[in-house]
Chains A and B, each alone.
Chain A
Amino acid sequence: MGYSGFRVIKEGLFGQKGWKPVWRDPAPKAEYDAIIIGGGGHGLSTAFYLAKEHGMTNIAVLEKGYIGGGNVGRNTTIVRANYFLPGNSEFYSHSLKLWETMEQDLNYNVMHSQRGLINLFHSDGQRDAFARRGNAMINQGDDAILLDRDGVRAHLPYLDFDNVRFPIYGGLYHPRGGTARHDAVAWGYARGADQRGVDIIQNCEVTGIDIEGGVVKGVQTTRGGIKAKKVGIVVAGRSGQVAAMAGMRLPIESHVLQAFVTEGLKPVIDHVVSFGMGHFYISQSDKGGLVFGGDIDFYSSYAARGNLPMKEHVMDAAMTLMPMIGKAKVLRSWGGIMDMTPDGSPIIDKTPTEGLFIDCGWCYGGFKAVPGSGFSFAHLMATGNHHDPAAKFRLDRFRSGVGLMDEEGTGSQHNLH
């Protein structure tokens, strides 16, 4: 059933009776060609691209709760391609291109809005580091503009330029950066995958991975055993636990990242803005809420909730950067669990078990990667070959030291990325 303005009007006239389920709730079959463990953004997009790009439709997505209930449903919705290290650069560039046609590809309005992202810098040294980044973005074919202080002021007049602890020297402007309606991305991919025959099975927790002679044979679930030729693990936040079912120990530590939203306000922040002297980033949703966040709470956690010191730090940053925000009120704060890796970059790779693949380690940058990750992981699962833009996301890079992608330059301490 196609979605369109015409259809919305027609259903409006006839009491909305014609809308069908956005995805079915099928019972699991005994066997699939491939199983995706995890019905989050990455898992659903993997299923969609397996079906769309590789014609694999006898596949299932197994989700222990409800689809889109992980980080795709609790992030700050930022979409960007502003990485500078080889490996990340080409991957996020590819992912952003997929965002730009996502609504047409899915026939679903995910409200992807390229409102522009501005990363502020506060010293000459930061400016030079951002210049390196911006030049890398342009080398990659993406867009970047280096703004001086007046350039920033023209875009963001409400920032504190005058009486502030860390003055604003300028910003790196990424016009194609922006936001999207996060939940809709999960639903759009679910709908697209379902329409192509993919079984999306909710409330089906994987409890074991069947491996014989080094080859994956299927999975055990709370709804029984299911056979499969290929299995993909895409369970950000629980990667370690699921990988352990296949005897793997991952280079991942789980951390909680908090985010915040205010009451609805008339338009006041048009861009995505990030502070350079402490983690703080903000945008305004189409509903009017200011959506913002900061750094992880820094201690390993699976609790999906944070503590006051980081909340206060984020509010502190908001107040020093844009003191006009003070009378906005936070109505909700929440937390999500991040797979933090030793270089802050993700993993899309085969595992030592034949037929078993893993996609994890997105730290707190996974939302913008949803289409790219699904596309590349589907490519790997379907063909057995790494997809070019994601070819550097190898598991063994930590052991070898080859191709580390440490954008923050903080080294192998997981929580510092």
Chain B
Amino acid sequence: MRITCPNCGPRDRREFYYQGDALALDRPAEDAGLEAWDDYLHNRENPAGDTADLWFHEAGCGAWLVVERNTVTHAVHKATLAEKAKR
């Protein structure tokens, strides 16, 4: 699997660390309540199809990326810098 890092270009999957769903971008407020935090930490749409998740170019440039890809075909559509993502 290869991901095109916005800094480094196409790179092998082995350079990246996978974190999980990109919903992590939308961190609830401290007092959002158990349900909101449960959803944030645990519950997942877990789509069989297009998804967006967070990867860290750990053995590369050190950028956190939002990767849009497909969980069924493993097609990778797009990778963008997480720090520029809309929240």
So, do A and B actually touch in the complex, CB under 8 Å? yes
Give the interface of A toward B (CB within 8 A).
Answer: 238, 240-241, 249-254, 298-303, 307, 309, 342, 398-400, 412-415
Tally of chain B residues near chain A (CB < 8 A): 27
- Is B84 an interface residue, CB under 8 A from the partner? no
Nearest residue, chain B, Cβ from A401: B34
> Which chain B positions have C-beta within 8 A of A298?
17-18
> Which chain B positions have C-beta within 8 A of A299?
1, 13, 18, 53, 55
In the complex, the answer to whether A413 meets B13 with C-beta atoms within 8 Å is no
In the complex, the answer to whether A398 meets B1 with C-beta atoms within 8 Å is no
In the complex, the answer to whether B38 meets A398 with C-beta atoms within 8 Å is yes
8 pairs of A and B residues whose beta carbons are closest in the complex = A251-B42, A309-B14, A399-B38, A240-B46, A398-B42, A302-B48, A298-B18, A342-B42
Q: Mark B54-79, 1 if CB is under 8 A from A, else 0.
A: 01000000000000000111100000
Give the interface of B toward A (CB within 8 A).
Answer: 1, 12-14, 17-21, 34-35, 38-39, 41-46, 48, 51, 53, 55, 71-74
A3 and B42 alpha carbons, distance in the complex (Å): 47
Nearest residue, chain A, Cβ from B73: A303
A298 and B19 alpha carbons, distance in the complex (Å): 8
Q: Which of A253, A303, A412, A414 contacts B72 (CB 8 A)?
A: A303
In the complex, the answer to whether B45 meets A399 with C-beta atoms within 8 Å is no
- Minimum C-beta distance from B57 to chain A (A): 14
Assuming A249-B44, A299-B18, A301-B72, what are 8 further A-B pairs, CB within 8 angstroms?
A238-B48, A249-B39, A250-B46, A254-B46, A300-B71, A301-B71, A303-B71, A307-B13
Q: Which of A302, A307, A309, A414 contacts B44 (CB 8 A)?
A: A414
> Which chain A positions have C-beta within 8 A of B51?
300
Nearest residue, chain B, Cβ from A300: B71
A399 and B74 alpha carbons, distance in the complex (Å): 31
- Minimum C-beta distance from B33 to chain A (A): 10
A298 and B74 alpha carbons, distance in the complex (Å): 13
In the complex, the answer to whether A413 meets B46 with C-beta atoms within 8 Å is no
